[in-house]
Homo-oligomer: A and B are copies of this chain.
Amino acid sequence: MKVLRLGHACYLLTSKEGKRYLIDPFLSLNPGCPEEYTKPAFLRTIDAVFITHGHFDHTQGLEEVENANPDVLIVAQYDFGMILLQKGYSNVHLLNYGGSIYLDDVKVTMVQAMHTSSYGETEGTPIYGGQPAGYIFNFHGDRTLYHSGDTTMMADMKIIQDFYKPSVAILSASGQFVMGPEEAAYVVKHLLDVEYVIPNHQFPNSHTTPRPEVLEGMVQQFPVIETMMNKDEKLLHLLEDDDKTEVIILNYGEEKEFPILQEASV
């Protein structure tokens, strides 16, 4: 199983069978997403898109994926998915917390998150988008990965760990709209029991962005973005003495393959 960082909450997961699953498409306007990953040539190769919630910075690229690949499978929560169906998206699979979709190489379960979910909120009155979600990707004969979605600490994470047994977590840690690095370190120490944690929801700074002009435009429009930079390192620092969990910091556009767990390699 491979994880490719595309900036903010957008990650591409590739199964050992080669299927490509894109989480929270934030593409042409995402200063952490290298330009090649915003192009139809790449977007046509996506097998399914998973949406954690309706906010702009998690769904902005959905139309771009759909334009490149009109039949792409979109997995979304019931209420937000109904909006997508009403807007004309054709292949929407509706779930809600605790429900699963069974694909050839992976079972994906929608789990709760502690955040909010609305749609169109940068253009007018926010439209209800359900409640925010995370996802558990249980890859067949491979690892189980937990994408927390946008969230803060919650007791339910202990149950999610106990029941679904993820060994890798993509975990919110940027502060401002999700928990900060200190809260995320608490989660890793007290609520989760994963081998690897990948910090989530950070924005690149002017040195690390693959697209400086996009970053400049976004910071001008949304200055709050600056509060969500340089947080990954803080989580790394807070967990440097932690024996249980390794913090994995990927560059924007960098991909890491996680070795199959002994006990999972059936």
Q: Which residues of A contact B (CB under 8 A)?
A: 55, 77-79, 82-83, 86, 94-100, 111-112, 114-116, 118, 121-122, 124-128, 130-131, 150-156, 158-159, 162-163, 172, 175-180, 183, 186, 190-191, 224
* Assembled-state Cα–Cα distance A83/B115 (Å): 17
Given contacts A79-B116, A155-B159, contact A176 B126 (CB under 8 A): no
User: Would A156 and B159 count as touching, CB distance under 8 A?
Assistant: no
> A127 to B79, alpha carbons, bound, how many Å?
9
B128 touches A126 (CB 8 A): yes
Residues of B near A55 (CB, < 8 A) are 78
- Which chain B residues lie closer than 8 Å to A172 at the CB level? 98
A95 in contact with B155 given A116-B130, A130-B118, A183-B163 (CB within 8 Å): no
Smallest CB gap from A124: residue in B: B86
Work out how many copies of this chain go into the complex.
Answer: 3
Partner of A127, one of B99, B125, B152: B125
* A99–B156 CB distance below 8 A: no
- Contact B179 A122, beta carbon cutoff 8 Å: no
Q: Once the chains are docked, how many angstroms separate the CA of A178 from the CA of B111?
A: 10
Q: Roughly how many angstroms separate A180 CA and B156 CA in the complex, as a whole number?
A: 17
Asked whether, in the complex, the Cβ of B183 is within 8 Å of the Cβ of A98, the reply is yes
Neighbouring B residues of A99 by C-beta, 8 Å: 175-180
Query: A155's contact among B150, B152, B158, B186, by CB below 8 Å, is which?
Result: B158
**Judging by beta carbons under 8 Å apart, are A94 and B125 in contact?**
no
Q: How far is the CB of A226 from chain B (nearest CB, A)?
A: 13
Provide the residues of chain B in CB contact with A162, threshold 8 Å: 190
Inter-subunit contact A156/B114 (CB<8 Å): yes
* Residue pair A154, B79 in contact (C-beta under 8 Å): no
For A173, the closest partner residue in chain B by CB is B98
From known contacts A79-B118, A96-B177, infer whether A155 and B156 are also in contact, taking CB-CB under 8 Å: yes
Q: Do B153 and A159 have beta carbons less than 8 Å apart?
A: yes
Contact at A98–B130, with CB atoms within 8 Å? no
Q: Residue A154 contacts which of B78, B150, B156 (CB distance < 8 angstroms)?
A: B156
By a CB distance below 8 angstroms, the chain B residues around A127 are: 125-126, 128
What 18 additional pairs, Cβ within 8 angstroms, besides A78-B177, A112-B152, A155-B156?
A78-B121, A79-B121, A79-B126, A82-B118, A83-B125, A95-B176, A97-B178, A98-B152, A98-B175, A112-B114, A114-B156, A115-B131, A116-B130, A126-B127, A126-B130, A153-B163, A154-B156, A154-B159
CB of B178 within 8 A of CB of A98, answer yes
Please list the 6 inter-chain residue pairs (A to B) with the smallest Cβ-Cβ separation, ordered nearest first. A98-B152, A98-B179, A155-B155, A97-B152, A96-B177, A116-B130
